[in-house]
Amino acid sequence: MSDKYNNEEESLLQKIQNKSGCLLLVIGAAMLAFVLTDFVSSGTSIFGSSENNVGSIAGQPITYEEFNGKFEELKNQVLQNNPGFVMDETTSAQYRDEAWKQLIEAKTIKPQHEKLGLSISAAELEDLTIGDNTHSQIRQSFTDPKTGVFDKNRLVRFLKEDINANPEALKSWKTFQDQFTASLVAQKYSALIASSFYATDLEARTKGQDERKSVNASIVAIPYQQLADSLYEVSDKQLISYAKRFGEKYEQKASRDMEFVNLYVIPSREDSLRMLDWSAEAIEKFATTKEDSLFVSIMNSETPFDPSFKVRGSFSPEMEDNIFGAETGKVVGPFQKDGVYTLFKVLATGTDSLRSVKASHILFSVFGTDTAKAEEEARAVLAKIKSGETTFAAEASLKNYDATRSTGGDMGWVREESGAYPKRLLNTLFNSGDGNYVIVRSEQGVHIAKATSGVSRKTVQVAVLDQSLYASSTTDGDVYKLAGELLTKAQGDKSFEEVAESMNITKRVANRITEENRAISGVSESNKIARWLFDEKTKEGDISPIIDLNGSYLVARVSKMRNAGLPDAQDLRGELEMLVRNELKAKDLIPKMEGALAKAKTADALAKALGVNVIAAPATSFMTGSLAFIGQDEKIIGTVLGTPAGKRSEVIEGKGSVAVVFVNNENQYDPADIASVKMQLKMENSQSIEGDIQMALSKLADVKDTRYKFYD
C-alpha cells in the first residue's frame, strides 16, 4: 500500500465532504444496486438489550429488538432503493437470515479485525473512489453503458455538485461507505491469514511420497467374527467408558423425539357440492351480465380480467376445444383441475395474423452428415406405424429428447414463427392436412410428423371466472373436533399409539429434532412445533395442545428428551455395541496371535500356526480404499505403509480383525517435484481460508439460534 495512506493530512474526499456538509446523493439504478449489494454483505448490531432473546453469539445474548432492528435496517434499505417492491414472507425470511449472518460477523470476525488494528485510512478510501485506483464496483456504477467508458468527471461532479440536502441519500451513502470499508477490511484479514501459510521441503517430500509410494505386503489376520457374539455381553458401563475415551466424537446436541398425528383439513364432499352450486349460480349470472370485467372482479375471480385476444394453445388442452368451439356470449364450464373450478365466457372472436396448428412428431437425430441414413430409418419406422407393428406415441417416447418425449410426441398447438420448432417442419405441417404423415428434414434432424388438427387463425376474447375449492368452516371445525377428541383420549390411560390406532388415524414419529434442525418431513411451519417441544416447561411424556399448522391440526407427544453432552447407554448401544464387543474379542485374540508370532518367522508360518490363510496386499498405497478379505481398515493400511520393507509389524487391533503385517518390498516411483508440491500445498490452504475462518470463529463463538421462538 502506498505511503500516502499513512499521511494524516486531510484528504481530498474529506475536504469535499466538509465543504458540502453531506456526502453523496444516490442517483441511477446502477448506484442503487451498488449500494444495496454491498450493504447486505455485512453489518453491525445497533439496538439495546431485552429479555426476549433470539439466540446468543460469543456469549452475548441477542435480543429480539437488536435482531429485528438489523432486519428492519436491511428491509428499509431494500424498499428505499427499489420503489414498489413488495417484500413477501419468503423474501422476509431470506433477509432475516442475512440479518442474523451480519450479526454473527459483527460479533465474531469484526472483533478480530479490531484486535489486529486493521482499518481503511481516509487516503486509501480516497484512492479507491476518486483516486488513481477507483474500485471496480464504483467504476461500474459510473461507466457509460453505451460506450463502456468510466467517467471519472461524473464521479467527481457527483461528489461536488449532487450532494443537495437529502437526508435519506446521505444515510444511504454513509451506510454504503461503512459496508464498503468493512468489506475491504475483511479482504485484508483474509489476505493476512492466507499469506501466513507456507510449506516446508519436508512437508512437500512427505506429501509427494504419500501420493506415489506403494508397497507389496502379506497380512495374517484373525477376524473377530470367529468368536461368537453371545460369549461377549456388553454392559452399559462399558459403552459409556468407550464413548468417553473419544471425547466430542460421540457427544450430542440436545434433541427431542416425538410421536404425532397431523390431521389435514381437506375439502369434504359437501364442500365439492357447494362449489358445484356456486358454479351453477355463477353460470346464470355470468351469461346475462353485460359488464363482464366488473362481474369477474365482484365475484373475486382468482384470474383477473384480461381483454386481450388469445390464440390456440393459450388454455389447458382439456378446456381449449370447448372454448374455441363456443358461440359468442356462451359460458363454458365448469372445469375442475387441481381443486380450481373455472368458467369461461367467450366475449368476441377475431382472426390471427399468423397460423397455428396442433401436431405431433418423432425426431431422428443426425450424427455427422448421415441425414440420408436417418431419413431411411424414419421411413422404416413410419411403415411399422402404419402396419400397426408399433405406435406413434411409443416411438416418440423412445426417440425424442425434447418436451414431447413425455407426451408421446404431442407438440400441442404451435404458432407460426414461435421459434419452438424448425420453420421447415412447421411450414410442412401447415400444408399437410389433418392426420397425414410427413417426413421432414430440419436443422434438428429428420422428423416423422403429422398435423392433428386443421390450421387455425381464430382468436377469442375470454372472461375467466375461477375459484379454488377450499374447506368450509364446518369441515375445518370437524377436523379440529377430531383433534380435540384424540387429545383428550391421549391424556388417558392408553398409549398415544393405541389411541391413534383406535381412531383409525396414522401415527408418525420424528426423532432427534434439535433447535438448530427443526425440520420435520411432510410438516409445514415446524417452528410452531419447536416452540412447544423446546419450551422449558415441556417434559418427556407430555402431550401438546392442538397446534394449528395453517391447513392441518397436529397433536404430539414427547417420546424422548436428550440433554446435550454424552448420550445415555441406550442411545449409544446401537452405534457402539459392536465396537466394544470387538475390543473384548481383541483382548482374547491378541495373546493367541502373539503366542504364535513368537515361534513364526514368516507370514506363511504364522498363518499355518493360526489355521488361516495369508492375505495378499499388492501395491497398497494411501489411495487404497479397502483390502481383500479385510475391508476398509485405515489402521491396518497405515501399518502396511508405515512398516519398513522386509520387516513385520506387531499385532494390530484392527477394525474387523487382529492382524500382523509383513512388508515384502516397496515399489519404485519417481520422486515428486518439491517446488511444485510446495506451491500446491500453499494454494490448497489459501483457497479454503475464508470458509475456514468463518467456521472457526463461529465455532469459537458458540452461536445459538433460537429465532424460531419468534417466527413461523
- Among the listed residues 251, 259, 255, the one whose alpha carbon sits nearest the alpha carbon of residue 572: 251
The more confidently predicted of residues 237 and 695 is 237
Dihedral (C-alpha) 269, 274, 275, 281: value to the nearest 10 degrees?
150
pTM for this one? 0.64
pLDDT at 161 over 80: no
Using only C-alpha atoms, the chain has a radius of gyration, in whole angstroms, of 37
- 441-456: per-residue pLDDT in tens? 998 899 999 999 999 9
List the grid coordinates of 296.
369477474
List the grid coordinates of 288.
346475462
pLDDT at 164 over 70: no
List the grid coordinates of 208.
509427494
**Percent of the chain topping pLDDT 90:** 59
Using CA atoms, how far apart are residues 703 and 108, in angstroms rounded to an integer?
10
Using CA atoms, how far apart are residues 594 and 596, in angstroms rounded to an integer?
5
Residue 142, pLDDT score: 81
| Non-local CB neighbours of 279 within 8 Å, separated by 6+ positions | 333, 334, 341, 343
Using CA atoms, how far apart are residues 320 and 330, in angstroms rounded to an integer?
14
Q: What is the mean pLDDT of residues 645-649?
A: 96
- 579-598: per-residue pLDDT in tens? 999 999 999 999 999 999 99
Bridge pairing between strands 552-562 and 255-264: antiparallel
Using CA atoms, how far apart are residues 215 and 662, in angstroms rounded to an integer?
10
Residue 13, pLDDT score: 40
Q: Delimit the domains of the chain by residue range.
A: 3-194, 215-251+570-666, 255-266+472-562, 270-468
Residue pair 263/549 in contact by the 8 Å Cβ criterion: no
pLDDT at 139 over 90: no
Least confident window among 14-28, 132-146, 600-614: 14-28
Handedness of CA 78, 82, 83, 84 (dihedral sign): negative
Determine the topology of domain 270-468 in CATH. Answer: Chitinase A; domain 3 (3.10.50)
Neighbours of 368 (CB within 10 A): 6
Determine the topology of domain 255-266+472-562 in CATH. Answer: Chitinase A; domain 3 (3.10.50)
pLDDT at 5 over 70: no
Residue 368, pLDDT score: 62
pLDDT at 30 over 60: no
Residue 8, pLDDT score: 40
Using CA atoms, how far apart are residues 353 and 310, in angstroms rounded to an integer?
12
Side chain identity, residue 134: T
pLDDT at 17 over 50: no
Q: How confident is the model at residue 74 (pLDDT cuts 50, 70, 90)?
A: confident
Residue 690, pLDDT score: 64
Q: CA 102 → CA 39, 41, 72, 152, 480, distances in Å?
A: 10, 7, 13, 32, 41
Residue pair 603/220 in contact by the 8 Å Cβ criterion: yes
Q: CA 164 → CA 13, 158, 526, distances in Å?
A: 17, 10, 50
Provide the b/e sequence for 434-449 (b: ≥16 CB within 10 Å): eeeebbbbbebbbbbb
Residue 165, pLDDT score: 60
Residue 36, pLDDT score: 35
Residue 472, pLDDT score: 93
* Helix, strand, coil % in the chain, rounded to nearest 5: 50, 20, 30
Q: Please spell the DSSP secondary structure of 213-267, one letter per residue.
A: --EEEEEEEEEGGGS-GGG-PPPHHHHHHHHHHTGGGG-B--EEEEEEEEEE---
Average pLDDT score, the chain: 86
Tracing cell 389435514 back to the chain, one arrives at: 264
3-class DSSP assignment, residue 602: coil
Q: Give the helix ranges, DSSP H, for 289-340.
A: 292-298, 317-325
Question: Which DSSP letter does residue 616 get?
Answer: E
User: Quick one: how far is CA 627 from the chain centroid?
Assistant: 36
Residue 45, pLDDT score: 37
pLDDT at 248 over 80: yes
Q: What is the mean pLDDT of residues 405-419?
A: 91
Phi, psi of 165 (to 5 degrees): -70, 90
Q: What is the mean pLDDT of residues 503-514?
A: 95
- 213-223: per-residue pLDDT in tens? 999 999 999 99
Domains 255-266+472-562 and 270-468 share a fold: yes
Residue 393, pLDDT score: 94
Provide the b/e sequence for 489-503 (b: ≥16 CB within 10 Å): bbeeeeebeebbeee
Q: What is the mean pLDDT of residues 456-470?
A: 95
pLDDT at 289 over 90: yes
Tracing cell 501399518 back to the chain, one arrives at: 639
Question: Which DSSP letter does residue 673 get?
Answer: -
Provide the b/e sequence for 314-341 (b: ≥16 CB within 10 Å): bbeeeebeebbebeeeebbbbbeeeeeb
Residue pair 690/190 in contact by the 8 Å Cβ criterion: yes
- 342-365: per-residue pLDDT in tens? 999 999 999 999 999 999 999 998
Give the H or E element holding residue 115: helix 89-116
Residue 456, pLDDT score: 94
Max CA-CA distance within the chain?
108
pLDDT at 572 over 80: yes
Provide the b/e sequence for 613-633 (b: ≥16 CB within 10 Å): ebbebeebbeebeebeebeeb
**Percent of the chain topping pLDDT 70:** 90
Q: CA 498 → CA 261, 486, 506, 510, distances in Å?
A: 12, 11, 11, 18
